[in-house]
Structure 1
């Protein structure tokens, strides 16, 4: 399941994933949120929490994630991913070079720092915190 998080500027799409994330979650929640943000901004940012309740992403959701990334390729400004799932951190590190945006991963206990960073001027380093 994907839920939209409130309290972020209009250029930030902020979501929390829990349980299994499916194609339906992308098509009903995430894609419309990204499309709405794109209407008012040339560049958008994504804040994505994948906490302990997140279990997996279905193949359909992974495909929609790829399509969404490619469709808005030049419009991504920054992505903050909050998770303690090591496999997600490793996947982001492997594919980081493909996305023309600032990307940082944060452990679950640094969610507040991730929220601050995604709305900041992005003059901070784009490497993963230690």
Structure 2
């Protein structure tokens, strides 16, 4: 018997019109996962006129997407593309770097791939601290 681990956690922090979204995916993402997270993201961002969103995606345990879930991911990105300021993808698989590059075609914000979580967080915070100085 094979024990397949699957899960998705999401965190949404808000300060004014700025959001910090964290996602951790384990296993293969499904359409049902997007049926849960999409309304959460839509609801949080819908309360603000011009939201600014930074995202940290932990893909270290992500195996990929079902085809319909990949479509859901693309639709979510297109729907909120102008709201994303920075997306940091923290992972450990070669294909994740390629996904980050492809994602930049559909999102107006910056997307970077990292193999180190600390570097990903530092990059997400870099412009905020420079703007405060």
TM-score when normalising by structure 1: 0.77
How has the CA–CA distance of structure 1 residues 95 and 71 changed in structure 2, closer, same or farther, with 3 Å as cutoff?
closer
Q: Distance between the aligned counterparts of 1:44 and 1:95, measured in 2?
A: 15
Q: Please list every run of 5 or more consecutive structure 2 residues that lacks an aligned counterpart in the other structure.
A: 1-6
The number of aligned residues is 118
Note closer, same or farther for the CA distance 1:57–1:12 as it changes in structure 2 (3 Å cut): same
- Residue pairs, 1:37-48, within 5 angstroms: 37-38=44-45, 39-40=47-48, 42-48=51-57
Please list every run of 5 or more consecutive structure 1 residues that lacks an aligned counterpart in the other structure: 125-130
* Counterpart pick for 1:114 among 102, 115, 120: 120
Matched, 1:100 2:108: yes
Structure with larger Rg:
2
Runs of 4+ in 1 over 3 A off after TM superposition: none
Say what the alpha-carbon RMSD is for the aligned residues: 2.2
- Kindly indicate which of the two structures has a greater share of residues assigned to strand: 2
For 1:121, what is the secondary structure of its paired residue?
helix
- Distance in 2 between residues matched to 1:94 and 1:68, nearest whole Å: 15
- Aligned-partner Cα distance in 1 for 2:102–2:75: 18
